Amino acid sequence: MLSSPVSESHGPLSHYLNAFPVTERWPAQYPDRLQLYSLPTPNGVKVSIMLEEIELPYEVHKIDFGQGDQRSDAFLSLNPNGKIPAILDPDGPGGRPLPLFESGAILHYLAEKTGKLLPADPAERWHVSQWVYFQVGHVGPMFGQLGFFNKFDGRLWEDKRPLQRYVDESKRILGVMDTHLTGREWFVGDAFSIADVSMLGWVRNLIGFYEAGDLVGFDSFAAVKAWLERGLARPAVQRGLAIP
């Protein structure tokens, strides 16, 4: 991920990046590299896994929720929604720096930029997109709410109907995934893609950090379970899960 700093710390790339307030709070030691602002959450690891898979040089900056980094003016200047991950690519379209937030958009951008983890066939590219949107619209929000009501403050609520609502919906989503993955190694075609990248961290968290495997009957979703094991066995995925 990191080697030696660029020799011209005041060169053009450094000058362009310095125009972004986020680099004042988190200075770029390697201004010629993509700058990643993140934490190893299910959304955060999407981008770190992607960067490790495509082997694009980058520099990572930890956004510490405990210190309120995500609410700082510097970070909000990059992502007004105050969420991770976000990136600042010094070599964006036209050779100009590109700030970008929202993990799904970042995955698509990096895939287009490098020509990796996205099929060449137009129809399959759209199939990949639909599963990324499926993750963004369903997997993330529902699994995240289940985690809140099972492990965090929501577990103290006497009314267990919200928990059951998200348990039931998470089971339904896993069923959709399981039906699709039956007979397949990956979500689209025969190759690992950004569709898989988008979901691995969320499924891993559901049964790990959120401690909801038994609640959703995860072992009954054999195709999803096998897919998760294949994905987590990838060296780049293992590295990406631990960054920053």
DSSP string spanning 34-98?
Answer: EEEEE-SSTTHHHHHHHHHHHT--EEEEE--GGGTGGGSHHHHTT-TT--S-EEEETT-GGGS-E
Tell me the average pLDDT across 27-34: 94
Is the Cβ–Cβ distance between 37 and 26 less than 8 Å?
A: yes
Domain boundaries, the chain: 12-114, 122-234
Q: Please report, in angstroms and rounded to a whole number, the separation of the first and last CA atoms in the chain.
A: 11
User: What are the angstrom distances between the C-alpha of 54 and each of 41, 175, 212, 213, 237?
Assistant: 20, 30, 31, 31, 11
CA–CA distance, 209 with 14 (Å, rounded to integer): 39
Quote the mean pLDDT of the chain: 93
- Decide the pairing of beta strands 58-62 and 98-101: unpaired
* In the predicted structure, residue 184 carries a pLDDT above the cut 50: yes
User: What whole-number distance in Å separates Cα of residue 36 and Cα of residue 16?
Assistant: 16
- Class of domain 12-114 as given by CATH: alpha beta
* Eight-class DSSP state of 200: H
CB–CB of 241/42 below 8 Å? no
- pLDDT at 167 exceeding the cut of 80: yes
The helix, strand and coil proportions of the chain, stated in percent and rounded to the nearest 5, come to 55, 5, 35
- Intrachain domains 12-114 and 122-234 with the same fold: no
Tell me the two tokens of residue 39: 């934490």
pTM of the model: 0.91
Which one, of 6, 8, 37, lies nearest residue 20 by Cα? 37
Distance, in Å, from the CA atom of 43 to the CA atom of 224, rounded to the nearest integer, reads: 19
Whole-number pLDDT of residue 86: 98
Mean predicted confidence (pLDDT) in 59-86 = 96
Rounded Cα distance, 176 and 129, in Å: 16
Instruction: For residues 212-216, give the mean pLDDT.
Output: 97
- How far apart CA 81 and CA 84 sit, in angstroms, is 9
Q: What number does CATH give the domain 122-234?
A: 1.20.1050.10
Look up residue 2 and give its two tokens. Answer: 């990191």
Which pLDDT score is estimated for 54?
A: 98
13/47: higher pLDDT: 47
Cα–Cα nearest to 88, from 41, 44, 28: 28
- pLDDT of 100-151, one tens digit each? 999 999 999 999 999 999 999 999 999 999 999 999 999 999 999 999 999 9
Neighbours of 145 (CB within 10 A): 18
CB 53 within 8 A of CB 200: no
Model pLDDT, residue 216: 98
Strand order in the sheet with 86-89: 58-62, 34-38, 86-89, 98-101
What per-residue confidence (pLDDT) applies to 6?
A: 33
Residue 10 has pLDDT above 50, yes or no: no
Q: What is the amino acid identity at position 37?
A: Y
